[in-house]
Amino acid sequence: MNNRAYKEVSILLVEDDDIDAMSIERALKKLRLANPYYRAVDGVEGLAILRNQGVGRPFIILLDLNMPRMNGLEMLVELRKDPKLTDSVVFVLTTSNDDQDRAQAYKEHIAGYIVKSKLDSDFTELLQLLDHYWRLVELPVDHN
């Protein structure tokens, strides 16, 4: 058993698909991950939540690309321009297997690009990966 203190990492899901969002919530419960969990339905709402400090640090963002109002790539550009959010850890979680989308996302310094069709339909595999990730990696904390 690991003796290191557990780091409570918040999760912000920016996803317009209710079914995918519910699947991620079920995977959190299935794995008994008690991490604070927040959801935005597009990039505009995601940025508002982050800018109003609605998500405590450290946090990980799971970001869909194809959304209304502000898509994931547009949100990434805004995140990287914002001095208080530029160090956000972002995993793209998308249906797009397009090389151009992947290249553009990595240019915005994402931690990983995950195509939904390559995951189990219940997202358990993804949440297990994230659980290991935040237990091993030192994440950015408050700037204050």
Q: What is the DSSP string of the chain?
A: ---SPPP--EEEEE-S-HHHHHHHHHHHHHTT----EEEESSHHHHHHHHHTT-SPSSEEEEE-SS-SSS-HHHHHHHHHHSTTTTT-EEEEEES---HHHHHHHHHTT-SEEEEGGGS-TT-HHHHHHHHHHHHHSPPP----
- Which segments of the chain have a pLDDT < 50? 1-5
pTM (predicted TM-score) = 0.89
What domain range is 27 assigned to? Answer: 10-133
Report if residue 142 sits inside a domain. no
Report if residue 3 sits inside a domain. no
Residue 6: its pLDDT value, please? 52
Q: How confident is the model over 85-114, as pLDDT tens digits?
A: 999 999 999 998 899 999 999 999 999 999
Report if residue 1 sits inside a domain. no
Residue 2: its pLDDT value, please? 44
Report if residue 4 sits inside a domain. no
Report if residue 16 sits inside a domain. yes
Please count the structural domains in the chain.
1
| CATH code: domain of residue 16 | 3.40.50.2300
Residue 133: its pLDDT value, please? 87
